[in-house]
Amino acid sequence: MTRNIHDVLIIGAGFSGIALASRLRRCGFERFRLIDRGNDFGGTWRDNTYPGAECDIQSHLYSFSFRPNPRWSKTYAGQGEIHDYLTWVAREEGLYEHAEFGQEVESATWHEEDRTWTVKTNTATFEAGIVIFATGHLSDPRVPDLPGLGAFKGKTFHSARWDHEYDLDGKNVAVVGTGASAIQVVPAIADRVASLTVFQRSAPYVIPRQDVIYTEAQKRMFERVPEAAQGFRDFLFWANESRFPQRMMVPEFLKEVEAVAEAHRRAQIEDPVLLDKVTPDYTIGCKRILLSNDWYPALQKAHVELVPRPVKGFTEQAVVDATGQSHDVDCVIFCSGFEASELPVAKRIRGVDGLRMDEVWSRGSEAFGGVSVAGFPNLFFMNGPHVGLGAGSIIFMIETQANYVADAVQHIVERKIGRVEVRSERQNEFVEFIAGRATGTVWTSGGCDSWYLDPRSGRLTTIWPDMMNRYRSDFGRFEPDDYLVVAEPHTVAAGKTRHH
Amino acid sequence: MTEETIVLIPGTETPADVAFAGLKPLLERDHRVVLFDYTSESQRDLDAVLEGYHEQLRVAIAELGRPVHLFGYSLGAHIALRYAATESSRVLSLALAGGWLRTDELQRSRHELWLDLYDQEPRLAGRLSHLLQYSPRYRRYLAEQQTAARLTPATPDEEIRRRVEINRLLDSSRHAADIEVPTLLIAGTADAKVSIEAAYELFGTISTAAFAPMDAGHALLKERLGQVYGCYADFLRGRYKAGQYIKSFLP
Ligand SMILES: Cc1cc2nc3c(=O)[nH]c(=O)nc-3n(C[C@H](O)[C@H](O)[C@H](O)COP(=O)(O)OP(=O)(O)OC[C@H]3O[C@@H](n4cnc5c(N)ncnc54)[C@H](O)[C@@H]3O)c2cc1C
């Protein structure tokens, strides 16, 4: 086991980790390390290599404000291009020198006596004055625990861990789920397989995807006139903000988007039976609204069947649906989403008095501003609780947090502060605020069963239930008054080592 | 949560429920919000029409029985401004979006063209107004929105005609100089109906004003609903100082 001592340890090398590390370096702060269990920068966009994987927020917006890319190939870039973008940013920002890959964090433990975190990975132990979990919300694939799965003799894998070695050509394939990944996977593989059976628990709302391939002239325009790219980005950002009243279920706004979705369905489907199957039974926006021009057409191919029922279990060669009907298949692809309502890392974090984060969060995740938790000093989250979006680019939230956390880090390190812990009353006020804002929104009243709500308490813990600009207004900078501050420095940086 | 009351006053062409369809529910999460619509009778002269609007606002606020925050858009900004100047004890704060100090030559020639068109065919006047309502950038990118809404011109009626006549002659200089309550000015930098220079003039005149320019046309509440709301919410929380030029972040 090697031992590593750092002022700051960032865990996670996706958009969040990159944003924070870049910000720190741009502020002239170099004393940090960044680790990730994967083999490179990219996070989501390194791991989700399934056929058809693309973003669903326009790339000119779904990218860093501080590293615009004039050369996006099209409106919604694909996985490979986004991954290339992220590794390019990491290189340009000088982050590889700070990074270590293949480090899966198994535990993170707070030591009050010397005010440090000990972070153990599969191969090393790190000690740090401050830790940041930028470990993502949609990073741990969720495979439903269904009876018979172990007995199934065919091939199975999750969309986020695609098995590219497995040849789908001519196979009978089942896709479980009809969410954001499934609607990209199904059209992308439909023409290769012998048959495709899609299991749907609840129908998603789907709207048209206006995907434009940028010409060389357009790319050069964005290169030569950065203001043009910024103007387009501004437009997209504020256009998304204007959609927020949809989430508040303001009737005029809901009607508008419902009409778009309905017109799309009717334009693409004539068969009344299929139309019925794909018509959602909850209020639009309660779950993510999906964008696709080829989802409905794919479902209408002769060898594709949509089963509007969830999966109940498996036999040796079949998927069994909720009515007990068996569907023989060679391969099952789980497009069943991620462990999302609670951050998977929560059970690995122990704070003051050995308290585990997942125990503190037994009624759902809570973090002041989505970034800090009482009882867990010198620890910050990025893209953690409370900041997911219904309509918008998460990069805006991530950059806001990167500025906040970088601010906090500099405040702590410059003043040689040993310990900052968010005041629990501030955290409670914040949680109350979130509950108030969530009231009457589509996430809590839209009549759908989504991962946005914590299954134990029914509370909205994953979403920022307000306009994005309000988050920037409240959490654009670190406010020391929100924290209990102990001025004595932690001892790690001074070179003290602890013996286990 | 404050239970203070906000009165929203619309502009020339759109009734309050339509103009504030987005802003009202956003504000209602923290405040009581009242929509104020005004109207006039056909036979009265223009001064009487304008006076009639003010009188209606006076009555509405008197009925509420407590001081209010006033938010006026376009022509509504002039109505709000005059009330705040003359009844400052009943006004907690003033916000003017798409407002101006006094109608200038360019505005007047637009209004005259509008009136000529109206006399020919009201629909044409509606189209002129619609053409100038949005910023070129907004129009250009509109189709790139994921749930792009169609913009359709409305056909004006006689009430709107009277308001356009009033717009032609507006001068709020005297009232603007008298404003004492905290004021927020929201202006579109690409507004073809009210030049940004006209908004600067207002900023120079109202001593208590903070100024928030936005990259938008006259349709501030449509193009930049989030920015208008966010800026106004921060203003209501006392975040801005008199004389402040508010810079927005780049997303
Ligand atoms: C297919 C797909 C499409 C998406 N499209 C969009 C979109 O269009 N627009 C949008 O706004 N959002 C989209 N999202 C959401 C997306 O997750 C975020 O936009 C963004 O990529 C999150 O970045 P992140 O850095 O916070 O997390 P991630 O990208 O998930 O990165 C987290 C990193 O932490 C590492 N990690 C996790 N646990 C550990 C551990 N215990 N030890 C060590 N390392 C660990 C992971 O390996 C990973 O590299 C999409 C998500 C998916 C899955």
Whether B82 has a pLDDT exceeding 50, the answer reads yes
Which A residues, 408 through 467, put their C-beta within 8 Å of a C-beta on chain B?
Answer: 436-437, 467
Q: Which residues contact B87 (CB under 8 A, 6 or more apart)?
A: B58, B61
Q: Write down the H helix ranges in A78-224.
A: 79-92, 182-189, 216-224
Cα(A482)–Cα(A421) distance, rounded to whole angstroms? Answer: 9
How do beta strands A311-314 and A304-307 pair?
A: unpaired
Neighbouring C-beta atoms of residue A346, cutoff 10 Å: 20
Comparing alpha-carbon positions, the chain A residue that sits nearest to B21 is A252
Structure token pair of residue B140: 């250009």
What's the predicted TM-score (pTM) here? 0.96
DSSP letters spanning A425-488: HHHHHHHHHHHHHHTTSHHHHS----TTB-TTT--B-SB--S-HHHHHHHHSS--GGGEEEE-S
Assess A72–B contact: CB distance below 8 Å, yes or no.
Answer: no
pLDDT value of position A260: 94
Cβ neighbours of B81 (radius 10 Å): 24
Q: Annotate A285-324 with three-state secondary structure.
A: CCCCCEECCCHHHHHCCCCEEEECCCEEEECCCEEEECCC
Q: Do B145 and A253 touch (CB under 8 A)?
A: no
B245: left (phi over 0), alpha (psi -120 to 50) or beta: beta
Q: For residue A489, what pLDDT is reported? A: 62
Choosing among 3.40.50.1820, 3.40.50.620, 1.10.3470.10, 3.40.50.1000, the CATH entry for B5-101+171-236 is 3.40.50.1820
Tally DSSP H helices, then E strands, for chain B.
12, 6
Nearest CA to ligand 1 atom 12: A394
Joined tokens for residue A96: 């590889």
Q: Is A235 on the interface with B (CB under 8 A)?
A: yes
Interface test with B, best of A74, A205, A241, A249 (most B CBs within 10 A): A241
Cβ atoms of A182 and A197 within 8 Å: the answer is no
Q: Residue type at A168?
A: L
What is the maximum span of chain A, computed from C-alpha positions, in angstroms? Answer: 72
Question: What is the pLDDT averaged over residues B35-55?
Answer: 92
pLDDT at A416: 87
Q: Would you put residue A378 in left (φ > 0), alpha (ψ -120 to 50) or beta? A: left
- A470 and B230 in contact by Cβ < 8 A? yes
Residue with the smallest CA separation from ligand 1 atom 3 is: A55
Parse chain B into domains and list their residue ranges.
Answer: 5-101+171-236, 107-159
Higher pLDDT, A498 or B137: B137
Mean residue pLDDT of chain B comes to 96
Q: Are A5 and A127 in contact (CB under 8 A)?
A: yes
Taking CB atoms and a 6 Å cutoff, what residues make up the pocket around ligand 1? Answer: A 11-17, 36-38, 43-44, 48, 53, 55-57, 62, 103-105, 134-139, 181, 345, 383, 393-394
- Going along chain A from its start, the domains and CATH numbers come out as 2-41+95-140+341-499 (3.50.50.60), 149-204+243-334 (3.50.50.60)
Instruction: Measure B40 CA to nearest chain A CA, in Å.
Output: 28
* Pairwise CA distance, residues A253 & A257, whole Å: 7
Q: Which helix (H) or strand (E) holds B200?
A: helix B196-205
Ramachandran class of A189: left when φ > 0, alpha when ψ lies in -120 to 50, beta otherwise: alpha
CB A105 within 8 A of CB A11: yes
Report the pLDDT value the prediction gives residue B148, as an integer from 0 to 100.
66
| List of chain A residues whose C-beta atoms are within 8 Å of the C-beta of residue B227 | 238, 241, 469
A24 in B contact zone (CB under 8 Å): no
Read off φ and ψ for residue A117, nearest 5 degrees.
-105, 135
CA dist B203 and B183 (Å) reads 10
Q: Among B61, B119, B53, B125, which Cα is nearest to B88's?
A: B61
CA-to-CA distance for B206 and B242, rounded, in angstroms?
A: 9
Ligand 1 atom showing the smallest separation from residue A338 Cα = 53
**Does A241 contact B227 at a Cβ distance shorter than 8 Å?**
yes
Nearest CA to ligand 1 atom 18: A394
Dihedral-angle region of residue A237 (phi above 0 means left; psi in -120 to 50 means alpha; beta otherwise): alpha
Cβ separation A437–B144 shorter than 8 A: no
Structure confidence at residue A500 (pLDDT): 35
Query: Between chains, do A396 and B251 touch, taking CB under 8 Å as contact?
Result: yes
* Phi, psi (deg, nearest 5) at residue B134: -110, 155
Q: How many whole angstroms from its chain centre is CA A122?
A: 24
What does the alpha-carbon distance between residue A49 and residue B78 come to, in Å, rounded to a whole number?
Answer: 57
Reported confidence tier of residue B2, pLDDT bands at 50, 70, 90: low
Q: Map tokens 């629990």 to a residue.
A: A424
Mutate which of B14, B139, B146 to test chain A, going by most A C-beta atoms within 10 A? Answer: B146
B85: part of which helix (H) or strand (E)?
A: helix B75-86
In tens digits, what is the pLDDT along chain A, a chain of 500 residues? 455 788 999 999 999 999 999 999 999 999 999 999 999 999 999 999 999 999 999 999 999 999 999 999 999 999 999 999 999 999 999 999 999 999 999 999 999 999 999 999 999 999 999 999 999 988 888 998 999 999 999 999 999 999 999 999 999 999 999 999 999 999 999 999 999 999 999 999 999 999 999 999 999 999 999 999 999 999 999 999 999 999 999 999 999 999 999 999 999 999 999 999 999 999 999 899 999 999 999 999 999 999 999 999 999 999 999 999 999 999 999 999 887 777 889 999 999 999 999 999 998 999 999 999 999 999 999 999 999 998 899 999 999 999 999 999 999 998 888 899 999 999 999 999 999 999 999 999 888 877 788 888 888 999 999 999 999 999 999 999 999 998 776 555 443 334 33
Paired strand residues for B212: B186
